[in-house]
A and B are shown apart, each in its own frame.
Chain A
Amino acid sequence: MISAGYEFPPVEVLVTREMIRAYAEASFDFNPLHLDESWMEGAEFGQTRYGGVIAHGLMTYSLVARMVTDVVYPLGGWHERCEMRFKAPVSPGDTVTTSGRVTNVRHLGESLLYTASVRAHNQHGTIVASGDAMGRVPLAL
C-alpha cells in the first residue's frame, strides 16, 4: 500500500481560539503569542506582523504526525522522524490542511522504510509548514 507516490489522506482542521487555548493547556505552553491579544499588539517581531494571536507551530507539526500515524499504525508501523519548518503563521479562523506524499521506499530486513514530503497549507493555499518525514511498516502483511 505504501509505495513511491502514495498520498496520505489529509487532515483538515478549522483552527479556532478555543482550539489554540485547548492546545496551550494540553501542551503546557502558555506563551502569550498564542493567547494574549493585547500582548501581541505591543509585541515586535522584526519585520513580521502577526496582527493577533497565532497557533502553535507544534500544533501543525502534530497534525502532520496524526496524518501519518492514521495510516501507519493499522499497518503495525511507526512514525520515526519528522522535520518541518514553519513558514507562515496560522491564525484563528484559518483552516489548516496537511498533505504528505511518499517520495521513496526501501526494504530493510522485515521492514519497509519510506520517506515522505509533508506539508500543511491554509485556506488561501499558503504553505504554513513543510518538511520531510520518515517511518517504517512491517513487510509481512
Chain B
Amino acid sequence: VALTLEIIQDYARAIGDLNPLYFDEEYARSSPFGGLIAPPTIHVPLLFLATDATDWMRTPGTVNAGQSWYYRRPERPGDVVTLRARALDKVYRSERLFIVHDNVFLDAGGQALCAGRGWTVRPR
C-alpha cells in the first residue's frame, strides 16, 4: 500500500487531530521530524487498505477486544508499506471465540515500521 498525504490527513481529521506535523509542511520541515509525518495510529487505515473486504479477518460483526502496537519510527507520505498478517492463536473463553492477530508493517527496504497484536471476538 502506498501511504498518501490524503490518507494521513483524512485519518487525522477523523480523530480530531489537527497537529501541524500532519498538515503544515513548513512547520514539519523545521521540526525534529524534518517533514510531514503520519500519526502513529496510521496502521489502522493501512491494515484495512491492505486487506480485501472479504478477508476472514474482516467478517462483519467482528469485535475488537484489544490492541498492542509498537511504533519503530513515524511513517511518512510516500512510504510504500507491506502488511504481513497472520492468526497466531485462537482461544475459546466464555463460549466466545477469540483470535490473536499478529501484524507487521514493513517499509520498502523490508524493515519493520510498526508491529502489533490484536485480539478480536469472532461473530457466531
Binding site for B on A (CB under 8 A): 11, 13, 19, 22-23, 25-33, 39, 43-47, 56-59, 61-63, 65-66, 69-70, 73, 76, 78-86, 131, 138
Q: How far is the CA of A82 from the CA of B64 in the complex (A)?
A: 15
A28:B45 contact, CB within 8 angstroms: yes
Q: How far is the CA of A79 from the CA of B19 in the complex (A)?
A: 14
Q: Is B110 an interface residue (CB 8 A)?
A: no
10 CB contacts below 8 A, A to B, read: A11-B16, A27-B14, A31-B61, A45-B121, A46-B95, A58-B44, A62-B39, A63-B15, A83-B67, A85-B119
B66:A84 contact, CB within 8 angstroms: yes
Number of A-B contacts (CB under 8 A): 121
Q: How far is the CA of A25 from the CA of B11 in the complex (A)?
A: 9
Q: How far is the CA of A84 from the CA of B40 in the complex (A)?
A: 15
A39:B44 contact, CB within 8 angstroms: no
Q: How far is the CA of A85 from the CA of B118 in the complex (A)?
A: 10
Q: Is B63 an interface residue (CB 8 A)?
A: yes
Q: Which of B77-106 contact A (CB under 8 A)?
A: 94-96
A86:B62 contact, CB within 8 angstroms: no
If over half of B's interface residues share one DSSP class (helix, strand or loop), that class is named, otherwise mixed; here it is mixed
CB distance from B9 to the nearest CB of A (A): 9
Contacts of A56 in B (CB 8 A): 64
Q: Is B25 an interface residue (CB 8 A)?
A: no
Partner of A66, one of B39, B63, B64, B123: B39
Q: Mark B48-85, 1 if CB is under 8 A from A, else 0.
A: 11000100001011111111111101100000000000
Given A61-B67, A78-B74, verify A33-B62 contact (CB < 8 Å): yes
Q: Which of B18-55 contact A (CB under 8 A)?
A: 19, 21, 31-32, 39-41, 44-45, 48-49, 53
Contacts of A58 in B (CB 8 A): 41, 44, 64, 67
Q: Can you name the residue of chain B whose Cβ is closest to the Cβ of A64?
A: B41
B32:A30 contact, CB within 8 angstroms: no
Contacts of B62 in A (CB 8 A): 31, 33
Contacts of A65 in B (CB 8 A): 39-41
Q: How far is the CA of A26 from the CA of B12 in the complex (A)?
A: 8
Contacts of B71 in A (CB 8 A): 78-81
Given A58-B64, A66-B17, verify A26-B94 contact (CB < 8 Å): no
Q: How far is the CA of A78 from the CA of B113 in the complex (A)?
A: 13
B67:A25 contact, CB within 8 angstroms: no
